[in-house]
Amino acid sequence: MTHQRSVLVVEDDDIVAELFQHLLSDEGMQVSLASSGVEARRALAARDYDAVVLDIRLPGQEDGLKLAEVAVGEGCGVVLMTGDHRFEKTLIASGHRYLLKPFRVERLLSAIEQAIRQSQQRARREGST
Amino acid sequence: MEYKETILVVDDESMLRAVFSDMLASGGYRCVVAANALDALRLIEANLVAFDMLVTDIVMPGELNGLDLAIALHERQSDVAILLITGYAESPIKKEAEARGYRILDKPFRQATLEAVIAEELAKRRAEKAEGSGSVVSLDRARQKREGH
């Protein structure tokens, strides 16, 4: 039996959050929602997630990259998103999986899987040192 | 990973939304449903997901109509297929939608007709996209010609 993926989505727009919930639950993932960076940090501290999906610009102008590093520290895979394609170079440099909006749902699903594999590899490397 | 075309469905009638969802899911499509035009517009403006098709009722409660949604989505995702549904044969919005070249389906219709029209519009879209990628072939041909093949 495959392990059910647990994904934390950081999204302040309730209708978009609902869309994420619908799309990812339909694929058998367990979805949690955080409407701000602060809420996401609390959620990350409280339990383990396989992956976090977040925009590079969080509500209240909080830096998504900083939150991404917190998520990595908690052993999560990270998928960053942006609708502003000028940020693409920053996203490439971050080393995280990223998506430019609008994206196909399949790309979201595969980015989540790749981000989880990336975090597992990171954990194995850290475990072997 | 299984590829599924993603369709945004907008209808204020809950029974029709349920019919659409069941029909599209069993047809192998991924269906995103909005219960009113305002929610649909918020989804469109968020521009998060690339939709393959919009299926929407034209006349809905509130200030927005299906044509407004079609135009808003087309502005952001120019290659999306559009199907507008209406029970008002003579409405000026329907005439405007026709003038813009959008496909319109009059109510009442049979489920088989709806399925066929959706499949047809998506096939048309796929063909147009394939035609677009045909330019790669012609560029390749031009290169071969230059190189004397």
At B24 the pLDDT is: 94
B100 domain-assigned: yes
Q: How many angstroms separate the CA atoms of A101 and A38, rounded?
A: 24
The CATH number that applies at residue B77 is 3.40.50.2300
- Looking at every residue in chain B, the average pLDDT score rounds to 89
At B139 the pLDDT is: 47
At A127 the pLDDT is: 79
Q: With respect to CATH, is domain A6-128 assigned 3.40.50.150?
A: no
The closest alpha carbon to B110, from B19, B28, B6, B31, belongs to: B19
Closest Cβ–Cβ partner in A19, A103, A105 for B43: A19
Closest Cβ–Cβ partner in A19, A81, A102 for B77: A102
Q: How many angstroms separate the CA atoms of B68 and B73, rounded?
A: 9
B35 domain-assigned: yes
Residue A42 C-alpha, separation from nearest chain B C-alpha, in angstroms: 25
Residue B50 C-alpha, separation from nearest chain A C-alpha, in angstroms: 5
Confidence band, pLDDT 50/70/90 cuts, at residue A27: very high
B136 domain-assigned: yes
Confidence band, pLDDT 50/70/90 cuts, at residue A1: low
The closest alpha carbon to B128, from B59, B78, B64, B71, belongs to: B78
Largest CA distance in chain A: 44
Q: What is the pTM of this model?
A: 0.89
B74 domain-assigned: yes
Domain that holds residue B44: 6-146
∠ CA B3-B111-B49, nearest 5°, is: 30
∠ CA B81-B135-A105, nearest 5°, is: 40
Residue B47 C-alpha, separation from nearest chain A C-alpha, in angstroms: 5
**Contacts with A81 from chain B: Cβ below 8 Å:** 48
B1 domain-assigned: no
Closest Cβ–Cβ partner in A15, A26, A109 for B43: A15
**Contacts with B32 from chain A: Cβ below 8 Å:** 19, 22-23
Query: What does the pLDDT look like over A63-80, one tens digit per residue?
Result: 899 999 999 999 999 999
Q: Do the beta carbons of residue A20 and residue A31 sit within 8 Å?
A: yes
Count up the domains in chain B and report the number. Answer: 1
Domain ranges of chain A: 6-128
At B133 the pLDDT is: 60
ipTM computed for the complex: 0.91
Query: What does the pLDDT look like over A29-69, one tens digit per residue?
Result: 999 999 999 999 999 999 999 999 999 998 777 889 999 99
The closest alpha carbon to A56, from A13, A18, A23, A94, belongs to: A94
Query: What does the pLDDT look like over A102-121, one tens digit per residue?
Result: 999 999 999 999 999 999 99
* Residue A125 clears pLDDT 90, i.e. is over it: no
B64 domain-assigned: yes
**φ, ψ (nearest 5 deg) of residue A22:** -65, -50
**Residue A64 burial by CB count (10 A; 0-12/13-18/19+): exposed, middle or buried?**
buried
**Residue B56 burial by CB count (10 A; 0-12/13-18/19+): exposed, middle or buried?**
buried
